[in-house]
Structure 1
Amino acid sequence: MTWDRGLLGLAKLKVAAAVLGVLTVSLVGAAAFGVIGAPSVEAVDNEFGEVTNETTVIHTDLVVNNPNPIGVQLGDTRINYTVRMNEVPMATGGGEGLNIKTGNSTEEFTTEMDNGQIPPWWRSHIENGEVTQVSINATVHTSVLGQRKFDITQERQIETDLIGQFNSDETRPINADDPPPTTSNPILYVNRTGAQWGSVTEQETPINMRFDVYNPQLEPYVVTELGYEITMNGLLVGEGATEDAYVIEGGSTETLNTRAAIQNQQLDEWWVSHLQRGQVTDLRIEFYARVELPTGNTIRVPLDELTYEETIETDIFGNKNSGGSNETATTPNGETTPTPTPTPTPTSTPDDGGLLDETDTATDTETPTDDGIV
């Protein structure tokens, strides 16, 4: 009786295994013919997390929809995640295995951004006319229905105007703290100012500036030095002075040129402050002049009327505003206006039910790619 029961149990196991095998083949076949819906990526949401002098954490929520009445465990599915700004690789990360419940479920990933990439990105931003294209790409590799790869891409555009407001025709008086006894304030007038970016290098970001200066006095003045100090969120990012001397005759106007520069090695520290302040930066440029008087004495004149201030706000992942669908850009008049983010459309629609985000650009290919940033 014991031997017979053992045979009977073994027979039941064989039957169960056969049924399971048929069921598995049937499910795969049904999925292949679209009878069973395959999971799809519904949304990708990113937020900045902890930021240090070296790294910036990015938290990513990947919302996956499973239309089937049962959950799916995709242990051999992996996701590689990259963030680029103007093609400069900023962060890479990902994970393996998806535990997809029925309906919508959220997969969480953590990516670390290397703050050392801030200076190269900054250079690209300035060289591109203060425009940055943020590209977020999630590459999904899965063996469901064969070895497949899907790219889910999000694109955003960031624009700033850091020095545009420095171009001005406003006349501003220059007063000395202790004017010479032979004259009175104002000792000079600045009738026009202008600025444009110079050729950015790995070390610095130059700003070419000009000042149209009028001398209302009878005697000539010699401006022997024009100095500047640049801060971003209170952090010193550049300082220096011109070595050229300018003679401004009485009753005449002279154009003074100076080359200010942001030191790029300071930008990773600025980036930390930018994120800690909710992606807001206060730019400030202060000036002073050393003026040689007809008596031969030289005085230091603070150019307070020329102090330049500009507030810049960014929304790199598009989730600062309600709904997370708009980007904030600084307009030439210093105000901020929402710029709608265009909705990407899929470039292809796989018919095998693979992982696909219908609202983002998707590319279906069977050729494996590099897992890291290239």
Structure 2
Amino acid sequence: MRIRQAVYLTEQGTQRRSNQDGVLSLNKVPLYAVADGAGGSEAARLALTTLKEHSAHLGPCIAAVASNPSTTTRLAVRHFFQGAFTRANAALQEGNAGRLSRLSSTLVAATVVGPFAFLAHVGDSRAYLLRDGALRCLTADHTLAALQLSRGDISAADYLESPFRSTLSRSLGMGPTVDVDVAEIRLEPGDVLLLCTNGLHRFTDEAHIRDAITHDDLAGSTERLLEEVRQAGAPDNTTVLLVATDPEVREDLTAGQIERALREVALFRDLSDPDWMQVAPYLEQLDAAPGEEIIAADGPAEAFYVVANGAVEVLQGAERRELGPSGHFGTLALANATRQLDTVRALEPTRLFALSRVRFEELVRDQPALGTRIALIALESLGDRLGVLTTRLAKVIEAVHGEHRY
């Protein structure tokens, strides 16, 4: 996926004495970011300068993904962002030494390689995706109101009126450590990424944001976005950065189709968009030719598989079943090192995605809350399967006993 253009624009706003936002646009890397500082204009500058200084480590990660987009290379990008944000947090902590007014900053950053965009963020600066006229928020705000909403403490209506919508629960400089949300999304030709500070989304709804963006006129789009804020009184600093991909010919299997097939599976169905995108880099893509054996009975059970497109046959003894898109198998492999009960073969050219037990354990370590939620869903699925097997066994026993009665 080639980046067609990246354009940004920032304004002070009518009620601020200075612009404490910052922006970073490195087309060569590529690396893009916006930050919303507090405590002084140097907060955002420190965060972005540290990210820029650390960007030399991103180049090898991007080259590795371009050469071989495995879970190993894609998770290396995740580790890059974690390291860069950790250093930025340390820089702000050092800057706070001896200060009465503490420095802190939000930060949202993105890079693009091949069909993937990788996003990292802390705070309430956001990333959006515009695709085929539909706008989608890719990040979850780290605010007290968003935390209350996610826990069910307040309703969606209460959230819109909450005085805590801008009270950060997480930011750079807030403490000695920082948790960073890192996500992966597959792009399609013609997609537009928007990075922005809260000066945009606090005062402009998503319908107006969507309508202001035109793929072929990014400069005009940034101006229209800020005009929307001006119409609302422009009380805050506002920064927007747009990144557009080339409108190349699309593949037969689009990024949207892949995501829909995977998210139909119970393991991922109830995840929010940001949570799903944090799981994505742990999934390995596999392509199987017709007749190719994907797993063999009595072989090691090492991964959970989902069919994205194509079809497979699952053989267990005399039983045979077919699975198409969103069909899945191998849940037991996530729970324990065991042996395969089934043989699975591709019936036609088939693309699958696998979550190996090793990657699943890594996900649980890296993101305990998210990993635990998925683990509980997997256990529930295994419980359902055990119930089915118990029913089958009961029928077999009943049939055997019935034969002995005659």
Larger radius of gyration: 1
Q: TM-score, normalised by structure 2?
A: 0.22
- Specify which structure has the higher proportion of helix: 2
Q: TM-score, normalised by structure 1?
A: 0.23
- Specify which structure has the higher proportion of strand: 1
